[in-house]
Amino acid sequence: MKYSEFKDLRLSRLGFGTMRLPLLEGGAIDQLQVNDMVRYALDNGVNYFDTAYPYHNGLSEIALGKALSLLAEENPQKYSRSRYYVADKFPGHQAASEYNPRKVFESQLRKCATPYFDFYLFHNVCENCWDVYSSHAQEFISYFMEQKEKGLIRHLGMSTHADLPMLEKILDSEYGKCIEFCQIQLNYLDWKLQKAEQKVRMLNERGIPVWVMEPLRGGLLAKEFTCNGRTVEPREMVEKAFSWLMEVPGVTMILSGMSSFAQMKDNVSIFSTGDGLSNESRELLAARAESLMSRVPCTACRYCCDTCPVGLDIPLLIQAYNDMKTQFSFTPQMRIESLPKDKQPYECLNCHTCNRHCPQKINVAEVIQDLCGMLKEHPTWSSICEQREKASIELEAELNRR
């Protein structure tokens, strides 16, 4: 495992992000698989585990706490609390004015079954929630600094999806003065698309170490890609994406939201080997980024879904939209048609609620309206099936007549 230095700590460069844990068929977290993943991570040198209050509707913290406690019970020495680092976040980005920091923090310690957090972040400080964060700055900062003095938080940081001017404003505020690290969305696509290059430079200039989230953009950068007649398999694309990140100045921690034991194994092996990127690989990633620039940059985080009054599966619809736009086939249409009637994109009220909750700042409402327009322009999959069936009946009748 590759490591990086942070203060007096040695952090594995790969961190286990627990926003997209493996699920069982009914949708519950697959705790047994999580236990295996956590064990494999620790046995192979991963020592950083990241969770947050809203992940899996609050159940990610519990699943991680369970897995770590189980290992500690099994072998208290090998899996002692001092061998790894746990990170959690204060959900100020979600209507935080009604949150009581003490209540939230104490419940998080209980849920994660830990006496302290090594890393604690103000979650997604950005344009959408700056009014809450700024108006409660005194209260939030003094409470969490107090926990730091008590040793219940070892290092305080923040995560953010803010645009450049907002990021600068935040870093110049009281939050900027108290944070020791900053977690941003960074990968070779967002380097240009979300101005991550300038964000990294801004953090570097202030001496703030960079924590990476969405290194594969919700799996989008883990897909097969063909360039100059050569098809690069998903695993190799993942390897290149991580290698690219490891070379970005100031990048200390790369969090990957792993959803299966196989992904954990692959990622551990990538972070244990590798010798940097060749020029050919750089060109390939540049070509891949170029090919993705026209897609709607949804990461399938689902932050918008809970707020949609008609409960649309927004990431699914956006994926279908992207697929239809970039490479027309009937598959995305089939996916949409198989949805229940009340979950079809036509049910969208164009209320724009989703727009306010999207960290990627996607105009979701507009995309859904655009999708409806595209669907209307193309024959539906069921009508094509009907036509085909009608044609085959006619052919059969014709053959019978002869």
The string of DSSP codes covering 150-214 is HTSEEEEEEEE---HHHHHHHHHSHHHHH-S-EEEE-STTHHHHT-HHHHHHHHHHTTPPEEEE-
Q: Would you tell me which residues interact with ligand SF4 (CB under 6 A)?
A: 298-304, 308-310, 312, 314-315, 318, 348-354, 357-358, 360, 362, 364-365, 368
CB-wise, 209 or 345, nearer to ligand SF4? 345
CB of 2 to ligand SF4, least distance (A): 29
Is 310 in contact with 342 (CB distance < 8 Å)?
Answer: yes
Residue 315 CB partners (closer than 8 Å, separation 6+): 298, 300, 301, 302, 305
CB-wise, 220 or 251, nearer to ligand SF4? 220
DSSP 29: B
CB of 307 to ligand SF4, least distance (A): 6
CB-wise, 126 or 304, nearer to ligand SF4? 304
CB of 256 to ligand SF4, least distance (A): 17
CB-wise, 102 or 352, nearer to ligand SF4? 352
CB-wise, 162 or 314, nearer to ligand SF4? 314
Using the structure block, give the residue that is written with the tokens 């770590």: 68
CB-wise, 153 or 362, nearer to ligand SF4? 362
CB neighbours of residue 135 within 10 Å: 12
CB of 299 to ligand SF4, least distance (A): 5
CA 107 and chain centroid, separation: 24
CB of 139 to ligand SF4, least distance (A): 27
Is 113 in contact with 105 (CB distance < 8 Å)?
Answer: no
CB of 153 to ligand SF4, least distance (A): 28
Residues in the chain: 402
